[in-house]
């Protein structure tokens, strides 16, 4: 399940050159690509649409950082339009599975599965920059074939929606009938307002 905008975002991002950083020490100079240098400081950057390849890279980084230290926080910056639900849930499950807290920060946009990952950060350690945007929508997908195949696919989408509903409710403190109190586990009030609006739309659909 992946939107057209997510595919376009991923294709455009794949063609961007990755900067190299030169770090000097008493042992000499060492060149890093920018993401490897961030990883050294326990920073993971999700800046593309989410597919199985991207998910595997993010998961590998999270597991590596847990192996480096099970007590130090990991910071995940998110600027993503979302993407494949299954791939996104693999990242989400890893975030919950590893011992270090994963702090999530939205920069630019966290949409679809990107928003689910933002909500999946450790409580009290979820942030959004002032102009960041968060968008949550129902699972999208398409299929063709025999009527029985279409029914199976539709049933899978409905079950996926119910699963995401439960995850978002648990992570934000919201329920389908919750329309008043904003979740207090986010540090950015603008994000709280956006999350409540989109979450209520998502869960009441």
Which helix (H) or strand (E) is 43 found in, with range? strand 43-46
Phi, psi of 87 (to 5 degrees): -65, -40
CA distances for 72 relative to 21, 28, 31, 103, angstroms = 24, 28, 25, 11
Confidence (pTM):
0.74
Active site residues: 112, 137
> What is the SS3 string spanning 13-37?
HHCCCCCEEEEEECCEEEEEEHHHH
Model confidence pLDDT, tens digit, residues 121-131: 999 899 988 88
Ranges of each domain in the chain: 4-204
The fraction of the chain above a pLDDT of 70, given in percent, is: 68
CA pair distance 192, 127, nearest whole angstrom? 10
Tell me which CATH homologous superfamily contains domain 4-204.
2-enoyl-CoA Hydratase; Chain A, domain 1 (3.90.226.10)
Model confidence pLDDT, tens digit, residues 33-76: 889 989 999 999 999 999 999 999 999 999 999 999 999 999 99
């Amino acid at each position: 399940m992946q939107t057209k905008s997510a595919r376009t975002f991923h294709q455009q991002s794949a063609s961007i050159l990755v900067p190299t950083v030169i770090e000097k020490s008493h042992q000499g100079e060492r060149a890093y690509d920018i993401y490897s240098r961030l990883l050294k400081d326990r920073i993971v950057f999700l800046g593309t649409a989410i597919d199985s390849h991207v998910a595997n890279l993010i998961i590998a980084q999270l597991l590596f950082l847990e192996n480096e230290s099970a007590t130090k926080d990991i910071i995940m910056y998110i600027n993503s339009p979302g993407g494949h639900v299954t791939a996104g849930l693999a990242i989400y499950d890893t975030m919950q599975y590893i011992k270090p807290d994963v702090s999530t920060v939205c920069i630019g946009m966290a949409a679809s599965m990107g928003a689910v990952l933002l909500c999946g950060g450790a409580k009290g350690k979820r942030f959004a920059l002032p102009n960041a945007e968060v968008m949550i929508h129902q699972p999208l997908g398409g299929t063709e074939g025999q009527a029985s195949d279409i029914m199976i696919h539709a049933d899978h989408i409905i079950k996926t929606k119910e699963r995401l509903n439960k995850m978002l409710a648990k992570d934000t403190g919201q329920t389908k009938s919750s329309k008043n109190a904003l979740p207090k586990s986010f540090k950015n009030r603008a994000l709280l307002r956006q999350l409540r609006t989109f979450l209520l739309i998502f869960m009441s659909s």
